Structure 1
Amino acid sequence: MKTQNFIKLFLFTSYLFFSSCNKEDQLIENQENVLIEQNTSLKKGLAPRAGLKSIGSGVMMQAFYWDVPAGGTWWNHLNTKVAEWSNAGIDAIWLPPASKAQNGAYSMGYDPFDYFDFGEYNQMGSTETRFGSRTELVSLINTAHSNGLNVIADIVLNHNSGGDAEYNIFTGTDTWTDFQPASGMFDRTMYDFHPNDYHTNDSGVFGGFADLCHHKTYVQDWLWNDANSVAKYYMNVIGFDGWRFDYVKGFEPWVVKSWKNTVGGFSVGEYWDGNAATLDWWAGEAEASAFDFACYYRMRDAFEGNDLTRLNDDMLWKRNSTGAVTFVTNHDTDEIYNGKMLAYAYILTHEGYPTVFYRDYEEWLDKDKLNNLIWIHNNLASGNTTILYADNDEYVARRNGYNNAGLIVYINNSASWQERWVETNWSSTTIKDYTGHSGWEPVTQSDKWVKIQVPPSSYTVWSVK
């Protein structure tokens, strides 16, 4: 009897041991698979990738909006768009956060849970993300690359969501800081969030979510340092080419700098602030680009407030033209309803790296007119900018050219035709309006002055014929 009980106990203990080992083996296997994938990808030379357009040579497309259709169809939908966008002059597409978030198939990705689940693990109520499967994401990226487009990943590093409750010795309460993702990659506990044994907090907490502590070596290693880090996996395995960092007010600029310096790739931060000097400070500290919220707010003041003199005000592109990513609207901002095409005429003729919003391009505005402005940006808009005139209704600026003739842009926010004498880059030269809004083809005087015109609530862009 004792022998039988001993045998039963031995078998039960062996079952528990091997069951535990199997789970650990599965996690190890997941991580080994990641390294195998990554080493294979590195051998294929995916970073850097040849044949892609130079980021900043064209225009970025924000390839989503808030609450795009759920159901796992978005990656496949975009796959049908990228060839047309490339032909129009787009050089990069910015995708929404691609990994599994707390709300699973309903999430827009800004509540990240498992950075290594791109729609392949059954967790958070779904296998696919809102946008589709990992296979569909990789297919989209491959199609974009074959059309010369860079692919920008939206990265949420400030906060995480979806962890289980654990008793937190630093708060004396239960906190949702126990993260054990199905990928087996980047488990997290109370020690990896604020407060912890390193410090109480960093720059900012978002929405009450668990706030990652980037000063922890473990967190840095998983996010960007290690061979199987989030950054290296996104770039070398999935195929992303650059980064849009979400809510960078929530952590210090050195985080973006360290990430970028470790893995490379174009980097732009969402530092939501209308002060151009503050944006310039952040871009300098992070050694990255920043979205030009100062430009966004001044355009909103100008076109919604019917005062184009606001375009004289300080903006990031005026301080740091190579570090400014300009935009008219995005998935988070209020709309510029009046004069939105005028705002696009502004950013697509001025310095900075302009972004076009998916719904503006595909649904709300005149695609032909936007394509015309993209062509103008890519072919005529070079050199520094000189503002020639501004009042409540009219704005005229000159791009002085360095690899082409440059241009004159004339924006009219009034209800009637306007005409104005302006000083151009060209002496005794025939010029024309490249938008087709004016049929004039005037000849500049020997002193480079010429009269140009613009229709009501419209714009013209002039250059050498």
Structure 2
Amino acid sequence: MKTTKIFYFLLISLFFISCSEDEITQENEQSTEAVKETVVTAKNNLKPIGSGVMMQAFYWDVPAGGTWWNVVKGKVDDWSNAGIDAIWLPPASKAQNGPFSMGYDPFDYFDFGEYNQMGSVETRFGSTAELQSLVNTAHNNGLSVIADIVLNHNSGGASEYNPFKGTSTYTDYQPMSGMFNRTYYDFHPNDYHANDEGAFGGFADLCHHKTYVQDWLWNNSNSVAKYYKNVIGFDGWRFDYVKGFAPWVIKDWKNAVGGFSVGEYWDANVNTLDWWTGQAEVSAFDFACYYKMKDAFSGNDLTKLNDDMLWKRNASKAVTFVANHDTDEIVNGKILAYAYILTHEGYPTIFYSDYEQWLDKNKLNNLIWIHNNLASGSTSIMYADNDEYIARRNGNNSAGIVVYINNSNSWQERWVETNWSNTRIKDFTGHSGWEPVTQGGKWVKIQAPPKSYSVWSVK
């Protein structure tokens, strides 16, 4: 996540509470009337997550003014028709910077745009009603909706004397929703321990070892997790900055509410990613793949695609991507990088700006179709040098494919061994007009245009 400029300020207290943490727990447990009796569209006809492609439905600094939920709502029908199966939304609840915040400085986990606090009623993205309308529209189009969850840190608390630091800290949280009030006991340092795996950017660092915090985040019937799922209608979770706390936190959340889960463990070390997915028992963004693609396409060395990646270790836990709201470093050859992740194993993600603004949408739609209909089975890397890369998907529910990526400035041709004998094949991208017939020994010559790619399968 990106660091948001935070200006701490004192909140004018609506009332003063002079009770113990246990009493606060009881008081907040009684706030179930704050949970709105909202009917969420039945979710019987959603596409299985992982059967298609995920859309990251935002970018950094999307337009403010409370319009974004409606913008996305207007696109989900087209996205679903293109083969998207899930949309990932930015953090949806009220944050410390109110109408200007991208949501990564959370203040009130239960205010989705209905309480006048932190400078606005609506969030940057819109109102609660507009969010739920978006969720229902996505469900009606068969799309799951992934919530961006920030559990590591909070922002916007009022100042209070903190005996564990001997100074005042901004750890007094009295959100207008009346849900999940917090004090210095709930952050580091406290009476349990001084710190956990990592703090972020000077924000108040939540202590997940405290039962009170666990109850409000995922255990209680009106916890953040269950409210997001049962009231707002979210179907899965993208967890922000999971380096900041232990993997059991994500595992416990997932066990409490279910749903597809992916963590942002920002590390290029595939061993670390593989370890984390095993401990958390959820998926992770494949940063190892991302950085190898950066080296390959920006550094003009496609042999880097031979290197280890999470999808090669455990494809069922790898969410692959070319760019996101935090990092967008693959500039040269970006469409080639999409050709790579949309023809290989793992669950690919498309970045909103690439799809809607910067790249050829028709080419991306074609690659999404190839991913959903042709690219199945295990992967065999057949050839790689500085400019060329060829891999074969060996087929599972389909005939499989051969993908040929060419980063040179001229057309290239190669003989390759396919899965098909005496079979006519074609390039399903339309970049090549060849329709060769494979030999009895399954070999065939294929081609790819300069700075482009071809994807071959049975005609």
Whole-angstrom distance in 1 between the partners of 2:391 and 2:443 = 14
Cα distance per residue 1:30-73 (max 9 Å; x no partner): 92324562xx75xx795xx3110000000000000000000000
In the TM superposition, 1:4-19 aligns within 5 A as none
Q: What are the residue-to-residue correspondences of 1:60-139 with 2, within 5 Å?
A: 60-139=54-133
Partners in 2 of 1:33 and 1:84 — Cα distance?
38
Out of 434, 445, 457, the residue aligned to residue 440 of structure 1 is: 434
**How big is each residue's C-alpha offset from its partner over 1:220-279, in whole Å with a ceiling of 9 and x where there is no partner?**
000000000000000000000000000000000000000000100000000000011110
Report the count of equivalent residues.
436
Matched residue SS, 2:292: helix
Asked if 1:334 is matched to 2:337, the reply is no
Q: Deviations over 1:118-161 (max 9, x none)?
A: 00000000000000000000000000000000000000000000
- 1:190-201 equivalence runs, <5 A: 190-201=184-195
Q: Distance in 1 between matches of 2:203 and 2:118?
A: 16
Unpaired runs of 5+ in structure 2?
1-14, 17-23
1:382 and 2:376 are equivalent in the alignment: yes
TM-score normalised over the length of structure 2: 0.93
Residues of 2 paired with 1:457 and 1:193: CA distance?
51
* Secondary structure of 1:54 counterpart: coil
Q: Deviations over 1:184-213 (max 9, x none)?
A: 000000000000000010000000100000
CA–CA separation in structure 2 for the residues paired with 1:149 and 1:429? 37
Q: Residue 411 of structure 1: which of 394, 405, 424 is its match?
A: 405
Q: 1:308 aligns with which of 302, 307, 327?
A: 302
Give a deviation string over 1:314-355, Cα, whole Å, max 9, x none. Answer: 100000100000000000013311000000000000000000
Distance 1:335 1:109 in 2: 23
1: CA distance, partners of 2:419 / 2:30: 61
Q: Is the 8 A contact 1:186 1:222 kept in 2?
A: yes
Would the aligned equivalents of 1:30 and 1:184 in 2 still touch at CA under 8 Å?
A: no
Tell me if the contact between 1:34 and 1:228 (Cα under 8 Å) persists in the aligned partners: no
2:27 pairs with 1:33: no
Q: Which residue number in structure 2 is paired with residue 463 of structure 1?
A: 457
Q: 1:28 to 1:275 in 2, by over 3 A?
A: closer
Q: Whole-Å Cα distance in 2 between the matches of residues 435 and 45 of structure 1? A: 37
1:6 corresponding residue in structure 2: none
- 8 A contact 2:35–2:231 mirrored in 1: no
Q: Is residue 2:253 matched to residue 1:259?
A: yes
Conservation of the 8 A alpha-carbon contact between 2:216 and 2:223: yes
Tell me the secondary structure at the aligned position of residue 55 of structure 2. Answer: strand
Taking the aligned partners of 1:30 and 1:385, their CA distance within structure 2 comes to 54
- Cα RMSD between the aligned structures? 1.6
Contact 2:34 2:178 in 1 (8 A): no
- Match for 1:237 among 231, 234, 237? 231
Of 329, 342, 352, 1:348 maps to 342
Residue 151 of structure 2 corresponds to 157
Query: In 2 relative to 1, CA 28–291 (structure 1 residues): closer, same or farther, beyond 3 Å?
Result: closer
Find the aligned partners of 1:105 and 1:221 in 2 and give their Cα distance.
29
**Rounded Cα–Cα distance in structure 2 between residues aligned with 1:75 and 1:379:** 30
Which aligned pairs between 1:153-192 and structure 2 lie closer than 5 A? 153-192=147-186
Report if the CA contact (8 A) 2:422-2:440 is conserved.
yes
Instruction: Say whether the 8 Å CA contact 1:35–1:227 is kept in structure 2.
Output: no
Give the one of 136, 141, 145 matched to 1:142. 136
| Aligned-partner SS, 2:169 | strand
Q: In the alignment, is residue 58 of structure 1 matched against residue 55 of structure 2?
A: no
Task: Name the amino acid aligned to 2:241.
Answer: Y
In 2: Cα distance, 1:446 partner to 1:196 partner = 72
Q: Point out 4+ residue stretches in structure 1 off by more than 2 angstroms.
A: 27-37
**Secondary structure, aligned partner of 1:363:** helix
Q: 2:269 aligns with which of 263, 270, 275?
A: 275
Give 1:108 shift. 0.1
3-state SS, counterpart of residue 316 of structure 2 = helix
Q: Decide whether the 8 Å contact of 1:427 with 1:448 is kept in 2.
A: yes
Once the two structures are superposed, residues 390-444 of structure 1 have per-residue CA deviations (whole angstroms, 9 ceiling, x without a partner) of 0000000000001100000000000000000000010000000000000000000
Distance of 1:63 and 1:178 partners within structure 2: 33
- Letter of the aligned partner of 2:31 in structure 1? Q
8 Å contact 1:101–1:124 — kept in the other structure?
Answer: yes
Q: Distance in 2 between matches of 1:78 and 1:96?
A: 11
Identity among equivalent positions (%) equals: 79
Q: Distance in 2 between matches of 1:225 and 1:54?
A: 26
Per residue, is there more helix in 1 or in 2?
A: 1
Paired with 1:455 and 1:263, the residues of 2 have a C-alpha distance of: 48
Q: Which protein is bigger by CA-based radius of gyration?
A: 1
Residue identity opposite 2:286 in structure 1: D
